[in-house]
Amino acid sequence: MLNLSAEKQIVDYWLNSKGFFTITNLKAGNKDVGILALKFSEGSVKEVWHVEVNCSITSSVSDADTKKLVANFTDNYFSNSSIVSAINRYIKLHIGSEYTYRKVLVIGSIPKSRKDEIVQGFTSEGIQAIEFKEVLTDVMQKLETQYYKNDTIRCLQLIKYLLLSEPEAVVTLLSNESDMLTKYNVSKFVKTLMNQDKLRKSFAKSATDKELITMLKTSTLRQPEKLAKIASDVLGKKSAKKFLTSLLSQEKMHKTLPKPFTADYLKSTIERRQKPLKYYLKKIKA
């Protein structure tokens, strides 16, 4: 375990949490084999996975040709004769017979726009492609407050409970001065948060009114047309009437309107460009 990269340790822990017995640091000649994962049930083998981990922060497969990308990983990790022989040898050593195993690639990141295409490319070669962020998210969600001896997992635990649990720390981490999020990702991040039920319930509390007002003042929603559309979509007939009454009772509104905003004034200022339908119906009957 000490010689494993951090990402490989995380994948190894993830497999263990799913009930797999894992074997690492396997060799095939001068090549390193990823992880051999075996799941037992009632004394017999139920699943065997050959898992390879390729994770990089800076590199991306966004510009790579799908066929070349898939062929490169397949040839280097899964179809290489020495690796296949080593995997079969290790399987026979631990379960006493040959076994058809699943090929799994944990890859750093796949561009969303090409995810289906790339995943399908690997699937056609009998390889299941999983993004590392899915593994990492699953691991962090399940971490509890107990002490973990594995230093990498312990580090994730500290990040979860001592950093991500503090709103101010998260804001600092994702601030504009940070390179972690682009403008597009910031917008996407906020939208994702707003879709969470817990967050919506939090915004429903009066304690967040000031924050919401600040957000409205600095957004395009402060435009009269958009603000009116929001009010129209959100309010029912009764609440809309109360809203309008309350709005017109505000001191600032009195100063803005040219004269008392009465029903007669409203009628006189609306330009009626079309006659009502009942006018024409009367004409037809006549």
pTM across the whole model: 0.70
Query: How high is the pLDDT of residue 21?
Result: 95
Instruction: Give the per-residue pLDDT at 8.
Output: 95
Cβ–Cβ < 8 Å for 266, 258: no
pLDDT confidence of residue 49? 97
The alpha carbon dihedral of 218, 223, 224, 226 has a sign of negative
pLDDT at residue 199, rounded to an integer: 67
Other beta carbons within 10 angstroms of residue 11's beta carbon come to: 28
Provide the pLDDT for residue 273: 44
How is the chain split into domains, by residue range?
Answer: 6-156
Specify whether domain 6-156 bears CATH 3.40.1350: yes
Q: What is the pLDDT of residue 106?
A: 96
Give pLDDT tens digits along the chain (286 positions). 447 899 999 999 999 999 999 999 888 888 888 999 999 988 889 999 999 999 887 666 666 788 999 999 999 999 999 999 999 999 999 888 889 999 999 998 888 888 899 999 999 999 999 999 999 999 999 999 999 999 999 999 999 999 888 888 887 777 755 566 665 566 666 677 667 776 666 666 655 677 767 767 777 777 777 777 777 777 777 777 777 777 767 767 666 666 555 555 555 554 444 455 555 455 555 5
Task: Identify the pLDDT of residue 272.
Answer: 46
